[in-house]
């Protein structure tokens, strides 16, 4: 559902965002758009210099941009050191998220000893287990299942159809998108007499304040100790976080990443899509892992790491594969050549 919009004069908008501006202070702004599509009553932004040529033809009422980019722009501008972040704040002003009405839907099933703040919202077909605590202004959307002993922090929002397993703790302002499973059993198995024995998973999950979990992501409960996401961790859709993983604050993980059990990831890391991280590793702070990478060893130095192979035209890729298949033979030839040279007469003899 699209949120209702508000209207600001440019001068009011600049004041609300704490930004300087150039242009007509009375320009009315009520919508948002791209540089190409924005109408005269809409705001847009320019963060990537590659898109600067589009300024010449944009019809936007105001553009959020860095001051140096605005020097040759004749339109209205909001001057920002960080245009993308201020663009996010601008959208929040123009399209504020509607508050959910406090109360419990008649179809919800609530355990007798659950503690639910009067200001919280409990949607249709929600199930809330024994000993659950749901704090002020939390929103539990339709068809969520909150197992026994869970704590949902103040102003957290479970959009809908979310499962939270027993004993999990979600911090304040956490956002959890549909289809997420938090606290299912980790993949713990022991081989015994030719078959698998399930290892009981007795830990839980702790998620810090201001985290966001994308749709259909799974975060397994710990085997003994808890799986932990520190505060302000951002996880995209369809990510697998295994038991006892520990993810440091402010780390961002893109879609379809898989993280195996007991790996520790530091703070301010960025892990690009479809990467796989093996278990029992330590990744230090401020590491960037590029898309489709496979991480099999611990990383103890900040920086950028990757192993994904970028796409190439198919005919060229087939030639590369043939050459890859010849590497062993080339290596043997090189060793034989080196041995022949080493065994041969010296040039000085």
Residue 12 exposure: Cα atoms within 13 Å on the Cβ side: 11
Q: Which residue has the tokens 């406090």?
A: 102
Rounded distance between C-alpha atoms, residue 42 and residue 60, angstroms: 6
Contact yes or no for 169/204 (Cβ under 8 A) = yes
Q: Which two tokens stand for residue 42?
A: 């809409």
Which pLDDT score is estimated for 167? 96
Question: What residue spans define the domains of the chain?
Answer: 8-94, 103-305
Task: Check residue 5 and give its pLDDT.
Answer: 78
pLDDT of 297-349, one tens digit each? Answer: 999 999 999 998 889 999 999 999 999 999 999 999 999 999 888 876 655 54
The question of whether 105 is a catalytic residue gets the answer: no
Query: What size, in residues, is the chain?
Result: 349
DSSP 320-334: HHHHHHTHHHHHHHH
Residue 64: partners with Cβ closer than 8 Å, 6 or more residues away: 19, 43, 44, 45, 46, 77, 78, 80, 83, 86, 87, 90
Residues whose CB is less than 8 angstroms from the CB of residue 243 and which lie 6 or more positions away in sequence, other chains included: 185, 186, 187, 188, 201, 203, 220, 221, 222, 223, 227, 261, 262
Quote the pLDDT of residue 211. 98
Query: What CATH code is assigned to 103-305?
Result: 2.160.10.10
pLDDT on residue 348: 53
Separation CA 112–CA 299 (nearest Å): 48
Give the three-class secondary structure for 313: coil
- pLDDT score at 128: 98
Which helix or strand (DSSP H or E) is residue 11 part of?
helix 10-17
**Confidence (pTM):** 0.91
The active-site residue out of 169, 177, 243, 246 is 243
Vertex 188 angle, CA 187 and 193, to 5° = 125
Helix (H) and strand (E) counts in the chain:
5, 39
Q: Residues 236, 214: contact at Cβ < 8 Å?
A: yes
Please tell me the predicted confidence (pLDDT) of residue 347: 53
> pLDDT under 70 in the chain at which residues?
1-4, 344-349
- Exposed e or buried b per residue across 156-192, where buried means at least 16 C-beta atoms within 10 angstroms of its C-beta: bbbbbbbbbbbbbbbbbbbbbbbbbbbbeebbbeeee
Q: Domain spanning 8-94: which CATH class is it, in words?
A: alpha beta
Nearest Cα residue to 62 out of 96, 82, 33, 85:
33
Local structure of residue 200 (DSSP, 8 states): P
């Amino acid at each position: 559902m699209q949120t209702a919009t508000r209207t600001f004069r440019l001068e009011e908008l600049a004041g609300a965002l704490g930004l300087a501006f150039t242009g007509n202070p009375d320009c009315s702004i009520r919508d948002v758009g791209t540089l190409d599509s924005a109408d005269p009553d809409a705001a847009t932004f320019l963060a990537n210099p590659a898109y600067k040529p589009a300024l010449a033809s944009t019809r936007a009422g105001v553009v959020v941009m860095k001051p140096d980019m605005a020097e040759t722009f004749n339109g209205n501008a909001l001057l920002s050191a960080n245009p993308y972040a201020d663009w996010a704040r601008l959208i929040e002003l123009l399209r504020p998220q509607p508050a959910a009405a406090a109360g419990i839907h008649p179809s919800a099933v609530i355990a007798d000893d659950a503690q639910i703040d009067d200001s919280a919202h409990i949607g249709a077909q929600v199930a809330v287990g024994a000993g659950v605590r749901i704090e002020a202004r939390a929103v539990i959307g339709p068809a969520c299942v909150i197992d026994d002993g869970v704590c949902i922090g103040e102003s957290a929002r479970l959009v809908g159809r979310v499962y939270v397993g027993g004993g999990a703790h979600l911090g304040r302002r956490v956002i959890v998108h549909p289809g997420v499973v938090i606290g299912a059993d980790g993949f713990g198995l022991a081989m015994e007499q030719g078959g698998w024995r399930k290892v009981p998973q007795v830990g839980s999950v702790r998620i810090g304040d201001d985290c966001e979990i994308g749709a259909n992501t799974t975060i397994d409960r710990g085997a003994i100790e808890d799986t932990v996401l520190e505060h302000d961790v951002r996880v995209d859709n369809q990510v697998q976080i295994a038991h006892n993983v520990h993810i440091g604050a402010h780390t961002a993980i893109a879609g379809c990443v898989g993280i195996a059990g007991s790996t520790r990831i530091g703070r301010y890391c960025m892990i690009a899509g479809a990467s796989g991280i093996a278990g029992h590793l330590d990744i230090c702070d401020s590491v960037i892992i590029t898309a489709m990478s496979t991480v099999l060893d611990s990383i103890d130095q900040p920086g950028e790491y990757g192993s994904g192979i970028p796409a190439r035209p198919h005919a060229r890729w087939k030639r590369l594969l043939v050459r890859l298949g010849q590497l062993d033979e080339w290596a043997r030839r090189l060793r034989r050549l080196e041995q022949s040279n080493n065994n041969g007469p010296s040039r000085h003899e």
